[in-house]
Chains A and B, each alone.
Chain A
């Protein structure tokens, strides 16, 4: 099974939280969450957004915020994951 990248996960989070993924893709997604704390936290934030707002759209997370998060993930991983 090919690993999902963090970038791919971010792009798929809406499908995941809305239950719109085939089982094999869902498994890949969840396997990534097992070992990637950054993405696990991100998904939980989006889940909470969905719970509060009732839906997710492209605007649920400002693209600049999303890009900043991805940059932060990359920096965080490069620095050994220290918070």
Chain B
């Protein structure tokens, strides 16, 4: 199975801090044991600096937010995911939150926060990915607080569409 993996700079595991073996000379990286990865629908939840295409060894277990596998290896970096893309994503999510605030003035605080973090993402590429994740969360939280869990899911689905379209990933 091919899935996706967000990593810290230098192909470092975001939580384990393990260095993933990187692909070279047209070959995938070495296998790493016990991995978590993203399907397209999981991408907005796990944003970090680098995005990679990863091959997973079966059996694969799926949860509502990710997939797990006994082993995985990096195949290729998704070069389209960059600080610029993260900043654009943040701006798009902030605009969405602004639109929600036009429907319900109770969302204005969320919209203000989202705009602040989106500006941070645009101003500093070192934190663009983290701040884009923050804005995405604010947008989903805004939708949930005002209109419930289904609205939050729709917001996340919109984010998935944005990312998969921008990065030309299979949906």
In the bound assembly, the distance between CA atoms of A82 and B48 in angstroms comes to 19
In the bound assembly, the distance between CA atoms of A49 and B37 in angstroms comes to 28
- Which of B19-27, B78-86, B126-134 makes up part of the contact surface? B126-134
A-B contacts, 12 listed (Cβ < 8 Å): A1-B65, A3-B141, A27-B63, A31-B45, A31-B65, A34-B45, A34-B48, A35-B133, A37-B130, A37-B131, A37-B134, A81-B116
Which residues of chain A are within 8 angstroms of B63 by Cβ–Cβ distance? 27
Across the A-B interface, how many residue pairs have beta carbons closer than 8 Å? 46
* Chain B residues in the interface with A (C-beta under 8 A): 14-15, 17, 45-48, 63-66, 113, 116-117, 119-120, 127, 130-131, 133-134, 136-137, 141
In the bound assembly, the distance between CA atoms of A31 and B45 in angstroms comes to 7
Number of interface residues of A (CB under 8 A): 15
Q: Which 9 A-B pairs have the closest CB atoms?
A: A80-B116, A35-B133, A35-B134, A35-B137, A34-B133, A37-B130, A30-B15, A81-B120, A34-B46
Partner of B130, one of A27, A31, A35, A47: A35
In the bound assembly, the distance between CA atoms of A55 and B35 in angstroms comes to 26
- Which residues between 1 and 59 of chain A lie within 8 Å of chain B, taking CB atoms? 1, 3, 27, 30-31, 33-37, 40, 47
In the bound assembly, the distance between CA atoms of A82 and B116 in angstroms comes to 10
In the bound assembly, the distance between CA atoms of A65 and B131 in angstroms comes to 25
CB distance from A69 to the nearest CB of B (A): 18
User: Binding site of A, secondary structure by majority: helix, strand, loop or mixed?
Assistant: helix
CB distance from A67 to the nearest CB of B (A): 23
Which residues of chain B are within 8 angstroms of A80 by Cβ–Cβ distance? 113, 116-117, 119-120
In the bound assembly, the distance between CA atoms of A65 and B116 in angstroms comes to 27
